Copies of this chain bind each other. A is one copy, B any other.
Amino acid sequence: MANEANCKVVLAARPRGLPAPADFRLEEEPLAALAEGQVRVDVSHLSIDAFIRTTLETSAYHGSVPLGGTIVALGVGRVRESRSADLKPGEWVFGPLLAQSCATLPAALLRRIDVGRAPATAYLGALGLTTGQTAWVGVREVAKVRPGETFVVSAAAGAVGAMAGQIAKLDGARVIGIAGGPEKGHFLTGELGFDAAVDYKRDDVAEQLRAAAPDGVDVYFDNVGGPLLDVVLDQIKLRARIVICGAISQYGGEVSKGVRGPSLYLRLAERQSRMEGFAVTHFPEALPRAEAELADWLRDGKVCLPEHVVKGLDNFAGALATLFTGGHTGKLLLAV
């Protein structure tokens, strides 16, 4: 039987550094009346994304959550009630459901998903806007990887990195993943079929990269920023492309200050190279194509993305912290 109350995660205090349990609070509220055009959705899973951390700051690009406000998150769920002609009870949807058990919001903010084509959680992972589609846009539309090129990706065992490397591989590149520890390395070269792995937790990262890419790097898909970005900048080829997808090494602390810029950025001039940032939301016209292609690949077993599922809204803080400490492999989800 459906719950008659909504349980939500609200911001109790602005995190300093890694998000901690005390920064969040669970609250219960009665379900609001459903207005015309709105639907009520039982939230099934939330996507744990780095952008969530940035919305906890006061000045944030993705908008800032006020103290006491519900934490922003994308999710999938099932329509329970509807006052919209566009969605019917029982249908699965994707959208900004927030960190709560039951979302009441305009149907226009949601998109129906076909759980016959792929499992619902895949719409947050392999096919997801912030995961598979982000990786697809970065590889295809920004880096424009060509066959035979050397493609390096950081946070490679994470959701975006794992997908980006697999897409570049399908596009004919030689793929090197950077991740922490031998276990993740085996995941990259074993399960994902990458050509080589670099362990950033060892002291000899530059040497490992040089050994894996003796002729240099054509494309660096960067999810991490920090000192690693300089290590790769120092080994780019002529006409390299550095795709800035994120800088997760810099998000754990306070985002609005203290980001470390790449001190070797002048390699861009020396080596006729470019650094290009992107956000998936700036490529609306490419996304249906991306999703369709990713769904085909997933069905045909050409890409895979393990899911790391944390259970329960009360574990939200821990799930978010895991994203920054790298204690997971693949897509990090919260099962509501």
Chain A contacts to B: CB under 8 angstroms: 61, 225, 230, 238, 244-247, 250, 258-279, 282
B residues within 8 A CB of A244?
265-266, 268-269
Name 12 A/B residue pairs within 8 A (Cβ), A-sorted.
A230-B261, A238-B282, A244-B268, A247-B266, A259-B263, A259-B265, A261-B262, A261-B264, A269-B279, A270-B277, A270-B279, A275-B275
Describe A's contact surface by its main secondary structure.
loop
In the complex, residue of chain B having the shortest beta-carbon distance to the beta carbon of A266:
B247
| Most-contacted residue by chain B among A267, A273, A277, A282 (CB, 10 A) | A277
In the complex, residue of chain B having the shortest beta-carbon distance to the beta carbon of A281:
B272
B residues within 8 A CB of A276?
268, 273-275
| Most-contacted residue by chain B among A244, A258, A265, A267 (CB, 10 A) | A265
Given A274-B277, A276-B274, A282-B238, is A246 in contact with B263 using a C-beta cutoff of 8 Å?
Answer: no
Given A270-B277, A272-B277, A272-B282, 7 other A-B residues pairs in contact with their CB atoms under 8 A: A225-B266, A261-B262, A268-B275, A270-B279, A271-B277, A274-B275, A274-B277
In the complex, residue of chain B having the shortest beta-carbon distance to the beta carbon of A273:
B277
